[in-house]
Amino acid sequence: MIKMKPRTKDKLYIYYREGKKCFYCSKKILYKQMSIDHFYPLSSGGTHDIFNIVCSCKKCNELKEDKIVENYQKIIIELFLKAVEDDFVKGEGLDISNKELKYLLLDTVRVKNISEEFIFESMNYRFYIKDSKVYKYNYVSSII
């Protein structure tokens, strides 16, 4: 299994996002005891994006292993929207400002692809994301 050392900023962010609790069992944990879990497993193509890592106690991390959580799409969208709100998802090399982008991203309703990169969709836009950065987006008339 690939071991990742997340940036301290990201680690602190998820620790506080989870309310200093384990994402899975809600047990209170100390910062120094937290382990990082890739919510959608790396072994299935999950990424290191901030919305795919959660704060977990050691026990849950070991129990979860490489399992895929039921309803994972709904949860990933929630984590993604939270990251957008908290300005952890930004555009790179796009023709719109981050402020405009944020406005569009907050309308995201589904996750289309997870493997290697994330693709999220709103009613009219498709966003391509890598390393928590939107590197491409396009207008699609009525995806639904």
- Positions that interact with Zn ion (CB under 5 A): 22, 24-25, 57, 60
Kindly state the smallest distance separating residue 71's Cβ from Zn ion, in Å.
18
| Tokens representing residue 24 in the block | 């899975």
Within 8 A by CB and 6+ apart from 82, the residues are 17, 51
Looking at the Cβ atoms of 24 and 137, the one nearer to Zn ion is: 24
Kindly state the smallest distance separating residue 69's Cβ from Zn ion, in Å.
13
DSSP string, 64-88: HTTPPPTTHHHHHHHHHHHHHHTT-
Looking at the Cβ atoms of 39 and 137, the one nearer to Zn ion is: 39
Kindly state the smallest distance separating residue 21's Cβ from Zn ion, in Å.
8
Looking at the Cβ atoms of 52 and 56, the one nearer to Zn ion is: 56
Q: Which helix (H) or strand (E) holds 16?
A: helix 8-17
